[in-house]
Amino acid sequence: MFECSLTSDNIRFITGVISRYNCRYSIFDDGTIQQTPSSPTTFEIRRSMKSTNHLTELVCRKASTPGKKLSDGQGMYLLVHKNGSKYWRMDFRLSGKRKTLALGVWPEVSLTRARKLREEAREQIHRGIDPLKHKRDQQRKRSASEERTFSVLCEEWMQRQKPRWTEKHAFDVRRALENHVLPDLGHLPIADIDRREVLSVLRVMEGQGKHEAAHRARQRMEAVFNFAIITGDCDANPAAGLTKALTPPRKKKMPALKPEELPEFLQRLEDYQGHRLTYLGMRLVIYTFVRTKELRLAEWKEFELKSENPVWTIPAERMKMRREHLVPLSSQSIQLLRQVSGISEGERLVFPSQNNPNRPMSENTLLYALYRMGYHSRATTHGFRSVASTILNESEKWHPDAIERQLAHVESNKVRAAYDRAEHLPERRRMMQWWSDYLDALKVSAQ
């Protein structure tokens, strides 16, 4: 018996030679060719391990072992999943990197069609073209209406988040994405966007010196991709894990007065010559240390001034953390509000605009008042929250949790946070009265 190992391309030639010698031969399913000539000699020619077209449609139909790869040669195989689905895959190497190309699902993509796709991919590789990239490029040429693009998923994500966001935050998120991300990624199918494309967008922002904005953009892109994974529109998140690839932003603290500068400031405030409503608003911000927006949009219906325990209830939709907030009112705060009512009584807003009572005081009104007082770049209304936190903590009179709760800082334990809007409220009432008395004492000492 004579044996030799040949490629499939040589089998036709060999069988032709055998036919010339009037030999009988058979080709078996395992690729073996056996010939029996008139003489006692037997030829057995076995197919080479590198041959192709190993599979048949019958073998594909019977394949059922999960995780099994049935090779058809030249990198192509049929992969059986746990759910019984069968996927055509092709492993190849290009530029020293091993990659896998998806060719479709059997039986929608038949064995014959899969082999044709394999040959097309091999031809692309031979010409130095990456079949994966070529496939992506072809998909991107489809009509945007037929694709689940980043822009489409981004819009869906923002709509889902809208109930949790303030109107201003929603506006800021949309504007940032429209300015920096959507021009480059918006038209692309979200499943085809890779890490390099995401990083390229962020690098452009860094090149413009917008390091903090780049970090926020990455966070928002990561959220959009996570949303797309949940909806089944993509399998991976190319924006995740890129934090260390970005330049850390410099943290900028809002200008705030030092505690020892507070007496002089309070004295200057008493000498303020601007609009009376601006003066009263500034004083109330200091007494209550709420955020500027929470003060500007305050409505009279939120105040219980005649209660045994006067309180200002700020609704969740106006709070940064989207949670209702209680502000116990000191006797000084109540006196201020009574003065304010002499100006805006009968209006919906406590601090309306001078030009239109149906609109709130401008967001820059209090800031510009600080500028006129000589505190440009030295203080902001938000900075009074920092001053209050420092003095209240250093006094060691109040529980740290009571201070944090009054500052409306987020509770890390979300389950606990859902039930503690009034936590430490009796102590907070005493603390707010102490704070107002403390400020009045500072003002007297500065005179």
> pLDDT (tens digit, 9 = 90+) per residue, 342-375?
998 889 999 999 889 899 999 899 999 999 999 9
Q: What is the mean pLDDT of residues 240-244?
A: 91
Q: What is the pLDDT of residue 21?
A: 43
User: Catalytic: which of 135, 320, 322, 430?
Assistant: 320
> What confidence tens digit (pLDDT) does each residue in 303-350 have?
999 889 999 999 988 887 778 899 999 999 999 999 999 998 889 999
Tell me if residue 382 is catalytic.
yes
What does the alpha-carbon distance between residue 284 and residue 286 come to, in Å, rounded to a whole number? Answer: 5
Q: What is the mean pLDDT of residues 124-131?
A: 90
* Strand spans (E) along 133-271: none
Tell me: pLDDT of 117 over 60: yes
User: Catalytic: which of 86, 115, 283, 291?
Assistant: 291
Tell me if residue 409 is catalytic.
yes
Q: Of the candidates 302, 154, 145, 163, which has an alpha carbon nearest to the alpha carbon of residue 228?
A: 154
User: Catalytic: which of 187, 409, 430, 443?
Assistant: 409
Please state, rounded to an integer, the average pLDDT across all residues of the chain: 84
Q: Which residues are 98's β-sheet partners?
A: 93
User: Catalytic: which of 385, 405, 428, 429?
Assistant: 385
Strand 2-6 relative to strand 43-47, pairing: parallel
Burial label, 110 (beta-carbon count in 10 A; 0-12, 13-18, 19+): middle
Number of Cβ atoms within 10 Å of the Cβ of 285: 20
Higher pLDDT, 41 or 188: 188
Entry pTM:
0.52
Q: What is the pLDDT of residue 296?
A: 93
Q: What is the pLDDT of residue 116?
A: 94
Tell me if residue 279 is catalytic.
no
CATH of domain 57-139: 3.30.160.390
- Residue 143 pLDDT level (bands cut at 50, 70, 90): low
Containing 47, the helix (H) or strand (E) segment is strand 43-47
> What confidence tens digit (pLDDT) does each residue in 161-216 have?
988 887 888 999 999 999 999 999 999 989 889 999 999 999 999 999 999 999 99
Structure tokens at 155: 């819009």
Tell me if residue 372 is catalytic.
no
Instruction: State how far Cα 367 lies from the chain centre.
Output: 32
Q: What is the pLDDT of residue 32?
A: 45
Tell me: pLDDT of 155 over 90: yes
Q: What is the mean pLDDT of residues 148-155?
A: 93
Q: Which fold has domain 259-446?
A: hpI Integrase; Chain A (1.10.443)
Give, as one character, the DSSP assignment of residue 253.
P
Q: Of the candidates 144, 247, 126, which has an alpha carbon nearest to the alpha carbon of residue 188?
A: 144
CATH of domain 146-245: 1.10.150.130
Q: What is the pLDDT of residue 253?
A: 67
